[in-house]
């Protein structure tokens, strides 16, 4: 017998909503780059445009994996 569809709906939504609420959008990333760039130029003699900033959210990656496992 097919599982009650509400369980699938809930799981899928939980994952989507969690993912989208924790992703860094371009606007926020811009602010982060600017703020961190300002801090770095305080200590290092470098132009802001010569800094590359990358953010890795470790905790988030872990959860994404869990979601994938639970729905498929």
Can residue 32 be called a binding residue for other proteins (CB under 8 A)? no
Can residue 20 be called a binding residue for other proteins (CB under 8 A)? yes
For residues 22 and 57, is the Cβ–Cβ distance under 8 A?
A: yes
Can residue 72 be called a binding residue for other proteins (CB under 8 A)? no
Nearest approach in angstroms of CB 69 to other proteins is: 20
Binding window for other proteins (CB under 8 A); candidates: 3-11, 42-50, 51-59, 63-71: 3-11
Can residue 14 be called a binding residue for other proteins (CB under 8 A)? yes
3-state SS of the chain? CCCCHHHHHHHHHHHHHHHHHHCCCHHHHHHHHHHHHHHHHHHCCCCHHHCCCCCCCHHHHHHHHHHHHHHC
Residues contributing to the site for other proteins (CB under 8 A): 4-7, 9-10, 12-14, 16-17, 20-21
């Amino acid at each position: 017998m097919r599982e009650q569809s509400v369980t699938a709906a809930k799981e899928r939504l939980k994952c989507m909503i969690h993912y989208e609420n924790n992703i860094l959008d371009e606007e926020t990333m811009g602010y982060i780059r600017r703020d961190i760039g300002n801090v770095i130029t305080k200590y290092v003699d470098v132009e802001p445009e010569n800094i590359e900033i990358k953010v890795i959210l470790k905790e988030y990656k872990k959860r994404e994996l869990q979601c994938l496992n639970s729905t498929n």
